[in-house]
């Protein structure tokens, strides 16, 4: 898409720019997908690797063995992750940097079967997301 593309739509703007920021999020397109688009309210399936701001990996759905499913733009998944996938297309990959107020806020998360290491309160979270599918569930 050229720089002269119609930038009135959300997806056109992000494809032209490659990076975008909304309050608390920094999104970087690593691979542009060509499949169905993750629109608000659609159920998305993703593989994800989560790291803390200093690079320590705290989560990998690849290692866990099961991709995540959640509503794009919804509130049940981490708010930053749910907002960060909006406009993504199946086959795409993004790096999403999430400020604490859209992540775990002032809560720490203990290491468990999902989190490899404890996540301190007020952590900046960085996810690399591969969008596998978009459904109308």
CATH of the domain at 31: 3.10.50.40
| Predicted pLDDT at 74 | 80
Residue keyed to tokens 């159920």: 43
Q: What are the φ and ψ backbone dihedral angles of 100, each rounded to 5 degrees?
A: -55, -35
Where is 58: in which H helix or E strand? strand 57-60
Q: Is residue 97 part of a domain?
A: yes
- How far does Cα 66 stand from its chain's mean position? 16
| Alpha helix segments (H runs only) across the chain | 10-17, 61-64, 79-84
Q: How do residues 106-126 score in pLDDT, each as one tens digit?
A: 999 999 888 899 999 999 999
Neighbours of 119 (CB within 10 A): 21
Reported pTM: 0.81
The domain in which residue 124 lies consists of 22-135
CA dist 135 and 137 (Å) reads 6
Tell me whether residue 2 is in a domain.
Answer: no
Is residue 13 one of the residues assigned to a domain? no
Tell me how many domains the chain contains: 1
Q: Does the residue 48 lie in any domain? A: yes
The answer to whether residue 86 sits within a structural domain is yes
> Which letter does DSSP use for residue 89 in this model?
B
Identify the weakest region by mean pLDDT among 7-16, 49-58, 79-88. 7-16
């Amino acid at each position: 898409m050229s720089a002269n593309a119609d930038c009135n739509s959300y997806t056109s703007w992000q494809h032209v720019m490659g990076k975008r920021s909304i309050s608390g999020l920094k999104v970087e397109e690593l691979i542009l997908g060509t499949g169905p688009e993750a629109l608000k309210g659609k159920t998305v399936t993703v593989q994800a690797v989560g790291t803390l701001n200093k690079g320590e990996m705290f989560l990998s759905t690849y290692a866990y063995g099961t991709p995540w499913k959640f509503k794009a733009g919804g509130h049940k998944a981490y708010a930053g992750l749910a907002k960060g996938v909006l406009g993504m297309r199946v086959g795409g990959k993004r790096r999403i940097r999430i400020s604490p107020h859209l992540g775990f806020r002032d809560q720490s998360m203990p290491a468990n079967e999902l989190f490899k290491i404890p996540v301190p309160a007020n952590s900046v979270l960085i996810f690399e997301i591969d969008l596998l599918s978009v459904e109308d569930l």
